[in-house]
Amino acid sequence: MEFDYLRSNESTPNNNRQNLLTSGWRPFHRELDWGFLGQLLHKDTREFTQKTFNLVSNFAEVLGRNNYAWWANLLSVVSDNTRYEVEKYWNYITPDPQSPDHRYKDILSTETPIVQFVSRSSIPIDYVLNRLQEITVLRVLQILDSPDIITQYYLERDFYFPVEKFVSWDRLEVINTVYAYWSKYDIWLQIESYERGRRYYTLMSTNISPLINKATYDLAVMLSGYQSRVGKVHSQFPIRSFPADIQNFTDTVQQAILTQNQLAIVVHGEPGTGKTVWTQAVAKEIIVPLGYVIFILDHDAISNFVPPNYLERICIIINEADNLAQNRASEVAQYNNKTEHILSLLDGTLYQSIIDDSGIQMKQKLVVLMTCNTTERLDPAMLRKGRVDLIYEFTQRFV
């Protein structure tokens, strides 16, 4: 997606205001609401009376001055200072434009476009996960389509953008902070602009999970060194092409996915028996249609991966797990923490040990598919009851 570059920060306020007007924004005119005025009079009687008295006194003082001609006093009534006082009073007795309730518990943000900082000494996991979050936010905005209102506050004045003229968010002139609201979903969007065309989008809602689930449908993430990317799962072989015993095992896996909130599966066998392509087939034909986001992790990614907390359903695929979750009694395993990391993923302790009081929190459903050549090299704790639910051996040459 391409974004129009904002004008230089050296632009004058008047130029910015003119840019708003020429790009379709219109000044927001506050209207009298008798219901709001009645509540104001009832709940804030003293303040209302005082402000009204001050305004009337100001007019009386201007009109009653004896040292000026009557016409000079009349001109003072329409002076900038008097108009400012009238406008301030009018803003007090009329309702403010709708604005978001920042107490909304579900918040999803992204800076866009995401910039990747490549380093030979680090795997760009953060970039890929940030890219996934950017895609999610932009997909949610596509689902929401045109909002009910679009407002922007600039130079002590509210502006609105006619929704019937709305085309896309990247073409909307953003100088200060833009707010948009969809009453159907009770969701707010906040847009803040930065230099070089970068923007920060924040979605706020009482329950944004259904929209996120819809927006992330069919998404998959591969975290594998410099080849990390966000895309869709590709399956070379359909499940029905596997041997009959594996198809029967797949039926058991499908039933377990439907009934359990957390499921870990290990398939093992000699190279060429179809373990990796089976995980791809299961992901594409069973797991993706159920709304899971797929994460395929390799050796380098596993030790730095934390499941995003805004996703409700996550599937993690770990190939060659016997090279990762090795027996910690061996000398090789003692030089890395990948075994402990995989165990914490299986237990859920990695991301559930601390409950954050901000952002989106939900009970995640987790499926972990692991392949290995042999279970003998796996750490015994991996196969302990409660961590791995299903184990199956692939015996027939398939690939």
* Residue predicted with more confidence, 129 or 74: 129
> What pLDDT score was predicted for residue 334?
46
285, part of any domain: yes
**pLDDT at residue 43 greater than cutoff 80:** yes
Do 183 and 240 belong together in one domain? no
234, part of any domain: yes
**pLDDT at residue 379 greater than cutoff 90:** no
Do 379 and 232 belong together in one domain? yes
Do 133 and 256 belong together in one domain? no
> What pLDDT score was predicted for residue 313?
94
pTM of the model: 0.78
Question: Mean pLDDT throughout 355-378?
Answer: 74
* Residue predicted with more confidence, 244 or 86: 244
Rounded Cα distance between 69 and 321, Å, is 93
Classify 196 in phi/psi space as left (phi over 0), alpha (psi -120 to 50) or beta: left
The average confidence (pLDDT) of the chain is 81
Lowest mean pLDDT among 40-49, 221-230, 324-333: 324-333
Do 372 and 234 belong together in one domain? yes
34: exposed, middle or buried (Cβ count in 10 Å: 0-12, 13-18, 19+): exposed
User: In angstroms, what CA-CA distances link 363 with 176, 311, 322, 366?
Assistant: 36, 9, 29, 10
Do 376 and 276 belong together in one domain? yes
pLDDT in tens, 187-219: 999 999 988 789 999 999 989 999 999 999 999
* Residue predicted with more confidence, 397 or 226: 397
> What pLDDT score was predicted for residue 46?
87
Domain span including residue 223:
217-394
**pLDDT at residue 178 greater than cutoff 70:** yes
Domain boundary among 194, 212, 230: 212
pLDDT bracket for residue 121 (50, 70, 90)? low
Amino acid at 319: N
pLDDT in tens, 105-115: 889 999 998 87
> What pLDDT score was predicted for residue 179?
95
Domain boundary among 63, 93, 123: 93
Question: Mean pLDDT throughout 67-84?
Answer: 64
Across the chain, the runs of DSSP E, i.e. the strands, are 26-27, 106-112, 149-154, 157-160, 177-182, 187-193, 199-205, 220-223, 229-231, 262-269, 293-297, 313-318, 365-372, 390-394
* Residue predicted with more confidence, 302 or 74: 302
Do 45 and 23 belong together in one domain? no
pLDDT in tens, 335-360: 455 666 666 666 665 455 445 555 55
Domain boundary among 76, 93, 110: 93
